[in-house]
Amino acid sequence: MWGGRFAEGPAAVMREINASIPFDKRLWRQDLAGSKAHVAMLGAQGIVSAEDAAAIAAGLDTVAAGYEAHGVAEDLILEDIHMQSEARLAEAIGPVAGRLHTARSRNDQVATDFKLWVRDAIDSVEVGLVHFQQALLARAEEHADSVMPGFTHLQSAQPVTLGHHLMAYHEMIARDRSRFADARARMNLCPLGSAALAGTGFPIDRAMTAAALGFDGPTRNSLDGVSDRDFAIEYLTAAAQCALHLSRLAEEFILWASQPFGFISLSDQWSTGSSIMPQKRNPDAAELVRGHSGRIIGCLTALMITMKGLPLAYSKDMQDDKPPVFEAHDLLALSIAAMTGMVESATFRTDRMRGLAESGFATATDLADWLVREAGVPFREAHHITGRAVKRAEELGIALDKLSLSALQAIDARIDERVYGVLSVDASVASRTSFGGTAPVQVRAAIAAARKENGS
């Protein structure tokens, strides 16, 4: 490509380190779409003849058909997808193919291709996350009344419902979707026409190419147009945050599937066995989702470090922008699909959940709240009284709601029989009717609101 300036070809190692075709071949659809938009504009502007523009467009369709049928060859001499496609185009239509590169550079070409790919990636993630939320909604509705222990510090805290717990993850995913949507909106300006770094002297119509490729308009600065990778970093940031949320649910499934918890049984589809212990049923899919989150966070870190010291405009370091994005996208797609499958097929052992909710003095706060509401006791004093009641129940080896009225009144005479209306786990969850609370009526309202928002 630059044979006029160089007398010798590259060393073998240089050829290998310089080639990006092994990974950027994934951009072939975006590369050909960008080229078709570019040549249509060149023809409309009279920069190339209508005849040549039509020949090039037809040739690009021929190249696309070849890629669809046979894939993209990893020819290190044709070091990237752009040179590969140009070579295939020349094979198809001859020397007129050389007119395609008029008024553009590989710098604005790759920035455009990569933006198109990331935009497509965001759209595919959106589809996966919608399906995941639908799975969460279905299981949350099924278990809107199912009592389980709610935890802080992984200690039993207050009873909640399983539906409420699952809806917490629905909220996390809603924020993830909004982050991806924000990133997509912010990135949707087209670099094509920035050329190498300074724009071009040809009378191009950048608005035309931007519109043809579904962008809101062209980028406003040619230096920034070719050197910006914020869109990739924002995609990875959203992916890392989403992976973190998936990992939290995966970790809970891992804990819940263990014998000490016994809250859940994962289906055979999402479990594995042991090569030596026949009794084992391992939550490997959840463990891999948890592990993938670390790799995705690592991809974000890798790209940020690559970009942190680069002067304007393009540097070859930026060739390394794509592998972490591709890796993170593949891992995230797998993680979303796996967690969706696990949520849809899991068996929740609600009897076990209820039993543990009843055994951990989880309604202690309800006793303290009752003392405040019904007896006019300041909360700090009520907290102290309740602590003594918990201690007494613990000494007797019984649940808080099994303490006799005389035992409670021995602790504080202001307690009367009405207190038993709040000490059961069912009464506790039913009383949490504040907006966003765990009461089944609020859980069902949250599910209905979520379905309305999602149009389902």
pLDDT tens digits, one per residue of 315-346: 999 999 999 999 999 999 999 999 999 999 99
Q: Is 274 annotated in the active site?
A: yes
In the set 153, 275, 406, 434, the catalytic residue is 153
- 245 catalytically annotated: no
In the chain, count H helices and then E strands. 18, 4
Rounded Cα distance, 20 and 3, in Å? 19
Residue 273's pLDDT band, with cuts at 50, 70 and 90, is low
What is the average pLDDT across 346-372? 90
The CA distance from 385 to 409, in Å, is 11
- Encode pLDDT of 160-182 as tens digits: 999 999 999 999 999 999 999 99
pLDDT in tens, 381-410: 999 999 999 999 999 988 888 899 999 999
Question: Which amino acid does the sequence have at 436?
Answer: G
Spatial contact of 182 and 23, defined as CB atoms under 8 Å apart: no
- Residue closest to 321 by CA, chosen among 233, 195, 189, 194: 233
CA separation for the pair 75, 68 (Å, rounded): 17
Q: 258, 274, 315, 359: which is the annotated catalytic residue?
A: 274
